[in-house]
Amino acid sequence: MSDDSLVGMTLDECREKMAAATAHANHDFATVRTGRASPTLVENLRAEYYGAPTPLQQLASFSVPEARLLVIAPFDKSAIKDIEKAILNSDLGLQPNSDGSVIRLSFPELTQDRRREMVKLVHAKAEDARVAVRNARRAARKDLESLEKDGDITSDELDRAEKDLEKITQQAVADIDRLLQSKEQELLEV
């Protein structure tokens, strides 16, 4: 295996880990309530369905007929009580309203204090993602340094690889910051 391919594999692996951290942050941001109805807020909640915790996305379909209304239509009408219980036990602070065939979730306007709390939460999630990116960078740097130590690459190749690694890291952090800024705007929008 050539030296360039070892460096390339290390950088590609790092790029994949950073992309996964960014995707995870994006998913985490989607689960933060903004005052608008969104299926991502509830689809991963787990309801006890025949004794097994089951994600709501496997139990029902979701629709958003209005900006502040989410309609959950269970595939099995007997699961309505279980779904309502899962929503009530979640930290969403929403009151499910059922008519026997569908569940309606009305999203009230967020107060300014609650918006600020949500922004803090999103900032914490973004910092977690940045930490994951930095950990991926640290692991890749360690791998590159061990390649140099083993004599697989020269110190010049190590310097070039570390510069590439830094560019990859900066891009991943910029992506996370862009997602954060977008979510923050969405939260503060009245």
Same domain, 117 and 27: yes
Residues 45-68 have pLDDT tens digits of 888 888 889 888 898 999 988 888
CA distance 59 to 72: 9
176: Cβ contacts below 8 Å, ≥ 6 apart? 21, 22, 25, 126, 129, 130, 133
Using 50, 70 and 90 to split pLDDT, how confident is the model at 89? confident
**Which residue, 50, 79, 106, sits at the end of a domain?**
106
Domain end position, chosen among 106, 128, 155:
106
Highest mean pLDDT: which range of 65-79, 89-103, 157-171:
157-171
In tens, the pLDDT along 151-178 reads 888 889 999 999 999 999 999 999 999 9
77 close to 100: Cβ distance less than 8 angstroms:
yes
3-state secondary structure of 110: coil
More confident residue, 168 or 190: 168
pTM of the model: 0.72
Residue 120 sits in the same domain as residue 176: yes
Q: Which of 83, 106, 129 corresponds to the end of one domain?
A: 106
DSSP line for 119-175: HHHHHHHHHHHHHHHHHHHHHHHHHHHHHHHTTSS-HHHHHHHHHHHHHHHHHHHHH
What distance in Å separates the CA atoms of residue 51 and residue 161, rounded to the nearest whole number?
52
Structural domain tally of the chain? Answer: 2
